[in-house]
Amino acid sequence: MLYSELSAAAQAAYAGLDNAAKEAETRRSIADVPGGFVSKLVKGRVYWYYQRKDPGGAPQQFFVGPDDTATQTLMQRHTASQPQEARAALQRLTRSALALGCADIPIKHGRVIGRLLEHGFFKAGGILVGTHAFLAYQNMLGVLWGAGAFTLDLDFAHAGRKLTLAIASNVRVDTTSAIESLEMGFVPVVSKTTFKKADEPDFDLDFLTTVGRTGDQPVYIPALNLTLQPLKFMELSLEDPLRTTLLVRANPLVVNVPQPERFALHKLIVHGERSTSQRTKANKDVTQAACLLDYLLENDADLLCERWNDVMSRGPGWRQRLQQGWTALVKAFPSQNFDDRLQAALTNSSP
């Protein structure tokens, strides 16, 4: 296997922390703010938001979560305050989870993600993608990856104007000012879709979106004060994202990430889009996809098959690239018997 399972104690510790961190983030978002909860039906699913008015009188909506037991509990308890004791308890939960073997991310990366979180980037529909999403899946799925976890840059995405996502709202965020406030030396490149550090040339902040009418030309989003780089097939990762908690020392960070099965198949699709100069990233795409697919075929094959069939139905371009990525995966990991396992899963999932 390309992953190892966390202990039952570690999984339980993370589950408790994840619930507590999401509840704390929701309470922090709406504490002492007049307003109320409203629901929306998006693509057949019900999602809840906390709605209030900004100082100018315009309505604002903060994403709370899907209509499930956890979200209902959050809404029932939203009036409770979060005193210093509660924050200290959250830190203790984080330390316990780490001590039991849960995975964390580098402190400097957590500092950037945390600042964007504080400024509302994720409430405004921002999504953490790339390797840090791959890292986030470890605690969420209760595993540790055997490969593919090395990274130096940070990748973020937003659906821009093309997709209607459940978490989209009219919250305005000055993302550029948030990055500048870090005082870490990040400077935007000419396209303004990437921020670089002169003293750490490999530590980039990249901001991505889906391809629209302007093709691959950078797109400026006024509500984010940010320019995004469109990438082909990016919509697969950005549809129906989920919330999860990253661990940075004693500081849990609640962020949006792609669904794991979408992330895995997207990695296969973009593998063939990489140029020759990006072979290292292309290889990492395949490795991360392999780790996730190894887990999903073992633990959630029906969900993976549903997404596989969805991608194959999107047209010849999607099918061709997915098959190309799959061929590279099978060649790179011959001992995992991916072909036989996928075919068995697809056969068993057929109506």
Beta strand residue intervals within the chain, DSSP E: 3-5, 36-42, 45-53, 59-66, 127-129, 143-145, 154-157, 186-188, 194-197, 200-210, 219-221, 226-231, 242-248, 251-257
CA angle 318, 227, 186 (to 5 degrees): 115
253-278 per-position pLDDT tens digit: 999 999 999 999 999 999 878 766 57
Count of C-beta atoms within a 10 Å radius of residue 207:
28
Environment class of 247 (CB within 10 Å of its CB; exposed 0-12, middle 13-18, buried 19+): buried
Q: What is the pLDDT of residue 34?
A: 58
pLDDT at residue number 171: 64
Q: Which amino acid is at 338?
A: F
CA–CA dist 232, 214 (Å, integer): 12
Separation of alpha carbons 5 and 141, rounded Å: 9
Higher per-residue pLDDT: 287 or 190: 287
One-letter identity of residue 299: N
Q: Could you report the per-residue pLDDT of 73-84, keeping only the tens digit for each?
A: 877 766 554 556
Over 60: is that where the pLDDT of 106 sits?
A: yes
User: What CA–CA distance (Å, rounded) separates 113 from 23?
Assistant: 19
Percentage of the chain modeled with pLDDT above 90: 62
SS3 label, residue 157 = strand
DSSP conformation class of 121: T
Distance between CA atoms of 223 and 301, rounded to whole angstroms? 39
Output the pLDDT for position 165.
Answer: 46
On the question of pLDDT at 151 being above 50, the answer is: yes
Segment 234-249, tens digit of pLDDT: 999 999 899 999 999 8
Tell me what pLDDT residue 32 has: 45
Residue with tokens 């795409």: 285
Whether residue 168 is predicted with pLDDT greater than 50 in this model: the reply is no
Q: What is the mean pLDDT of residues 63-70?
A: 85
pLDDT at residue 283 is higher than 50: yes
Contact 268, 292 (CB under 8 A): no
CA dihedral 27, 31, 37, 41 (to 10 degrees): -50
pLDDT of residue 351: 65
Model confidence band, residue 184 (pLDDT cutoffs 50, 70, 90): very high
Query: Look-up: residue for tokens 């997404």?
Result: 307
**CA nearest neighbour of 63 among 167, 212, 156:** 167
Rg over alpha carbons for the chain, rounded to the nearest Å, is 20
- Cα→Cα distances 292→2, 128, 235, 285, 298, Å: 8, 17, 19, 11, 10
Percent of the chain that is helix, strand, coil (3-state, to 5)? 45, 25, 30
Identity (one letter) of the amino acid at 344? A
Q: Which residue has the higher pLDDT, 86 or 178?
A: 178
